[in-house]
Amino acid sequence: MKAFITGITGQDGFYLSKLLLQKGYEVHGIVRRNSSINTSRIDPLIAEYSDSKKLNLYYSDLMDSSSLNNLIKRINPDEIYNLAAQSHVAVSFQNPYYSAISANAGIISILEAIKNEEKDIKFYQASSSEMYGGKEKVVLNEDSVFMPKSPYAASKVFSHNLTQIYRESYGLFGVNGILFNHESPHRGETFVTRKITRAVGRIYHGLQDKLTLGNLDASRDWGFAGDYVKGMYMMMQQDKPSDWVLATGETHTVREFLIQAFKYVDIDWEKYIQTSEKYFRPNEVEYLLGDATKANKILGWKPETSFNQLVELMVKEDLVLAEREKVLIENNLLKPTWENPTK
């Protein structure tokens, strides 16, 4: 089996590639050609699998339809997972044009390429719980109404709807995975969960004085990314395509995440946390809680990692990273670039 993954260098790309490679897949992915290529997340996979030609990377871009079409013809994949996007909600307000164009141009190119191939290629679209808007405190499932509150969410709704349109119009095997927030030690450091656990590690090792955050009362359904990519794979093994919600069925505030993270190192979080309007979104999503009953019953998918286990996993990893940073600083090999480093 061959899988083609856009967004292979991201958090989900790493966990999905690892899972598929372990299952014997031949994995192909694209990276953007920049002055510096960041493959740090998947470097261990490259070291283990690239010599066997099981993991293959190509220079391409979602906005380059010709390149995408040529790659799909060349690779001839059985499955395509579209994970690539500008994935930070706050950034989508600062750069709405790029957030919309990069995501939407890419999915049009991929769906058109699949439509024109003789081979039946299965397609996975990474949808998002942000599409719901989180205006009311209700449990959300596949039938809930989308009310996007950011350019990021609006672009996700477009891609979600387009996948359904191609599925219904051309008989494509296209699935939408509506994944609620899923985190890990490989989460980008500008996302609030990772921002917190990185700060916990640095504060514990005396490298940081304060952490500034936005809305501490925003509530999210947080799970572990490693569990969620298993759900992606399960969706693609079904006989008929559909749309699926993956969620834990629990919601926790940013404040609760803070408390649990600092509790692990026995530090009073209130001494180190400050808030700023700078980090509040122009249109805040206050509450998200998902219902994965359909995935539970039909796919047999359930989250394996609890909220407390997730927080512990992330803090433990970031304690190790902070300890390494401390050694480098003490040997004048690193200058702190993070917020409020200790003097």
What residues are labeled active site? 128, 130, 152
Rounded CA gap, 85 and 102, in Å?
7
**Contact yes or no for 142/177 (Cβ under 8 A):** no
Q: How many angstroms separate the CA atoms of 236 and 1, rounded?
A: 12
Cα–Cα distances in angstroms (integers) from residue 57 to residues 52, 53, 274, in the given order? 13, 10, 42
Task: Pick the closest to residue 325 from 312, 314, 338 (CA basis).
Answer: 338
Residue 70 CB contacts under 8 Å (≥ 6 apart), including other chains: none
Contacts of 50 (CB under 8 A, 6+ apart): 56
Residues 56 and 29: beta-carbon distance below 8 Å: yes
Write down the residue that tokens 């670039």 correspond to. 337
Specify the DSSP element, H or E, that contains 244: strand 243-246
